[in-house]
Chains A and B, each alone.
Chain A
Amino acid sequence: MNRLIFAFLLSLICSPAYATLNVFACEPEWAALTQELAGDKASIYTATGPLQDPHHIEARPSLIAKARRADLVVCTGAELEAAWLPVVLRESSNASTQVGSIGYFETADFVNMLEVPTRLDRGDGDVHARGNPHIQTDPRNFLPIADALSKRLIQLDAANTNAYQQRLSAFNTKWRSAITKWEAQALPIKGLPVLVQHQGFPYLSEWLKLKEVATLEPKPGMEPSAAHLAQILNTLQKQPAKMVLRAAYQDARPSEWIAQRAHLNVVELPYTVGGSAGASDLYGLFDDTIARLLKGSQ
């Protein structure tokens, strides 16, 4: 009996004896990208789900426990996770994944940031000093990130360098041709005027040349108010839009409200891997995003 208890305690304390990298991914898209680049060389934990607002996550005990054993933390950065990740990392007492260490990777470091504020004033709402953090809505951003992330994986796990390099090169080829396909599919919606619920789509809009007429949130992070929505109805008189975009995690009511009154289509985009049935991996994420945009434009 004592031996059984001892064995149980030992199994609790010892992490699985495989030599895989433990990766703590803040958002599903980075978990999916790490999966593409590391395959079975990494065991990946995803800290947030597609139905969670990544700005507003609680530093739950489970997240702290998972971060404790991580070899690599992969997050967006640009303050997207400022409300919870600092506590998780601090409380995890994991020296190898603190900010600035080799086990800490921010994807926003490797792309051209949009909407970088020229002034920092909370009166402007929840603006991020380094720019809009929702970089995962433009598939082109994944190329430089994949390159840097693969290098980081190699630094952490040099023994599998070849495997990482092969997977990166395969990903690059496949991803580039997928981008070409998506851009061809999205030609009909080029220049389409849209409303967005949150300023969460500047990268998507820049990629597909969508024209954002207005944002339902009066200021970033502020809930849409009735007065502001009424103002948008006025704007739509002069500048009509075709559809209103919302991420899967966002409250449906504001976009439904405006869509009914202005006769727009509501397009709920998966926003990240798992955000819709079709978005089962990175490729599915953009397949489904384009399909939903095309449907909404009709």
Chain B
Amino acid sequence: MFKEISTRAAIAALLFQSASSFAANTGSIDNAFNPAFSLILSGNYGSVQRDPSIPATGFAMNPNPGHEQGFNLGESEMGISANIDPEYRGVATLALDPAGGISVENAFVQTTALGDGLNLKFGRFFSGLGYLNEQHAHAWDFVDQPLVYAILWENQLAEDGLQLKWLAPTDMFIELGGEMGRGRGFPGTDTVRNGNSAGVLFAHIGDDIGIEHSWRVGVSAHQTRRVDAESIDVPDLAGNAVTDLFTGDSQTTGLDFVWKYVANGNVKNSYVKLQGEYFRRKETGDLTYDTAGANVTDTFSNAQSGFYLQSVYQFVPRWRVGARYDRLDPGVAQIGASNAGNVISDFAFKPSRTSLMLDYSPSEFSRLRMQVANDRSRQGLKDNQFFVQYIMSLGAHGAHSY
């Protein structure tokens, strides 16, 4: 037996000799392939009682991602990532539109060797603001994004620009970050000009409490200059749908938190996750009312806000239930005198929605989900919604963030 041990030790010593030049060490732990390649296949069945193109009351000047009805193929997401060299890592995520065409969801380069807690990212990336914004659709806990994300960020903010993060050398997780970009995603207006068109600042702190509890809290701020932001089919005081144009400053602040309880710290078996986020956007500038008709420009300022609170409970391995409550406040707009008789300033209605979901994951690479929602986001148009969804991942399965 000793002989066996000494043989093993000798082999190990030999192995060590060859491995001690670290470059010879086995490569990426992402995957045995280089680069790591992954494909997400997803699809939905959606049943809604109201026309999904009707926007939430008071939010006709915001995006409305809405829902697809009937059987529909979701975006298939193709991901390629690898270390470029010892200094940089590259990531590309391409969304294959079911109607044809490819869009670049993410395409960024990230430093891996700056050290001192500094991390620089450049290219197209999901902004680090909030908690959900960085998560890809296949990692969402519900079929859709919370209303506040759907309407204030057109589901999620992707920016073309650069991001610098710094992680403090402390026992507690303290991360500060800033971004500059072209203002590509809503509320940005993708302005073609020199310089910086949109900026984000964020801070996250987080830690564990014992082995069963963990949490993260964040604050974020986003600002951009909106130029000729066009909104179509905006209801006016006379009851018509007109096209408006807004130019001005947009400033958004946000708070987010997530807390997880994991029995024995073993996330495979059962856990509870509670999370919530709040965003408030203040916009100040000039609004041109009815560009095709009256074409009247005067000052406009408004503060929109919204929050969601959700919880997901994995009660046995593979099975989870979740509940989410959404609420929005369209604000009361300050409207210049010349448009006071044209533009609606107060909708006196706060959109809300309640969603329940149940999902089942046969393995860590597949998930099947059912969701029902009672949507009260459109005044007088209550909508009971029902969705079925599948999310499957092939190939390299990148690690998920917290």
Interface of chain B residues 200 through 249 with chain A (CB within 8 A): 204-208, 211, 214-216
Residue A277 lies at the interface, judged by CB distance under 8 Å to chain B = no
In the complex, are the beta carbons of A84 and B399 less than 8 A apart? yes
Contact B165 A126 (CB under 8 A): no
Contact among A62, A179, A251 with B206 in the assembled complex (CB-CB below 8 Å) = A62
Q: In whole angstroms, how far apart are the Cα atoms of A151 and B171 in the complex?
A: 28
Residues of chain B within 8 A of A5, CB atoms compared: none
Once the chains are docked, how many angstroms separate the CA of A129 from the CA of B28?
Answer: 12
Contact of B167 among A93, A120, A125 (CB under 8 A): A93
Q: Bound complex: CA of A85 vs CA of B30, how far in Å? A: 9
| Interface check A213, CB cutoff 8 A | no
Cβ-based interface call for B27 (8 A):
yes
Complex: how many Å from CA A141 to CA B205? 39
Determine, out of A75-83, A227-235, A290-298, the stretch whose residues face the partner at the interface. A75-83
* Interface assignment of B73: CB less than 8 Å from any CB of chain A: no
Also in contact, A130 and B26, with CB within 8 A (given A13-B168, A69-B169, A180-B1): yes
Cα(A21)–Cα(B268), bound, Å: 32
Contact of A91 with B401 at beta-carbon distance under 8 Å, contacts A13-B169, A125-B363 already known? yes
With contact pairs A58-B402, A82-B30, A126-B364 given, residues A179 and B113 touching in the complex (Cβ less than 8 Å): no
Task: Scan B103-139; emit 1 where CB is below 8 A from any A CB, else 0.
Answer: 0000000101111111100000000000000000000
Residues of A within 8 A of B167 (CB): 64-65, 68, 91-93
Indicate if A109 sits at the interface (CB-CB under 8 A): yes
Residue in B closest to A176 when the chains form the complex, CB atoms: B5
A223 x B317 contact (CB < 8 A): yes
Q: Which residue of B lies closest to A79 (CB)?
A: B29
Cα–Cα distance between A176 and B9 once the two chains are bound (Å)? 12
User: In the complex, which range does the number of interface residues on chain A fall in?
Assistant: 35 or more
Residue of A nearest to B207 (CB): A62
Q: Shortest beta-carbon distance, B271 to chain A, in Å?
A: 9
Complex CA gap A179/B8 in Å reads 14
Q: In the complex, what residues of A have CB within 8 A of residue B11's CB?
A: 112, 144
A-B contact number at CB 8 A:
208
Please name all residues of chain A whose beta carbon is closer than 8 Å to the beta carbon of B86 when the two chains form the complex.
98, 100
CA distance A135 to B322 in the complex (A): 37
Shortest distance from the beta carbon of B16 to any chain A beta carbon, whole Å: 5
Contact A144 B208 (CB under 8 A): no
Residues on A with beta carbons closer than 8 Å to the beta carbon of B394:
122
- In the complex, identify which listed stretch (A29-37, A47-55, A258-266, A281-289) lies at the interface while the others stay far away: A47-55
Q: Say yes or no: is A148 at the interface (Cβ < 8 Å to chain B).
A: yes
With A91-B401, A143-B12 in contact, is A109–B25 under 8 Å at CB? yes
CB distance from A219 to the nearest CB of B (A): 8
- Whether A96 touches B16, Cβ cut-off 8 Å, given contacts A12-B170, A144-B9, A222-B362, is no
The complex places the Cα of A57 from the Cα of B364 at a distance, in Å, of 13
Chain A residues near B32: list those with CB within 8 A. 120, 129-130
A115, CB-defined interface residue at 8 Å: no
Residue ID in chain A nearest B115 by CB atoms:
A95
The answer to whether B364 and A140 have CB atoms under 8 Å apart is no
B282 an interface residue at 8 Å Cβ cutoff? no
B269 at the interface (CB under 8 A from A): yes
Check A93 against B118 for contact (C-beta < 8 Å): yes
CB <8 Å contact, B206 and A183: no
Q: Give the distance in Å from the alpha carbon of A280 to the alpha carbon of B162 in the complex.
A: 48
Contacts of A191 in B (CB 8 A): none
Can you list 11 A-B contacts with CB-CB less than 8 angstroms, sorted by A residue number? A12-B170, A15-B169, A51-B264, A68-B117, A82-B399, A85-B29, A87-B401, A90-B119, A106-B25, A110-B19, A140-B5
Chain A residues within CB distance 8 Å of chain B: 12-13, 15, 48-49, 51-53, 55-62, 64-66, 68-69, 77, 79, 81-87, 90-96, 98-102, 104, 106, 109-112, 120, 122, 125-126, 129-130, 140, 143-145, 147-148, 151, 176, 179-180, 183, 221-223, 249, 251
Kindly list the 5 A-B residue pairs having the minimum CB-CB distance in the complex, ordered from nearest.
A144-B12, A61-B206, A61-B173, A95-B115, A65-B173
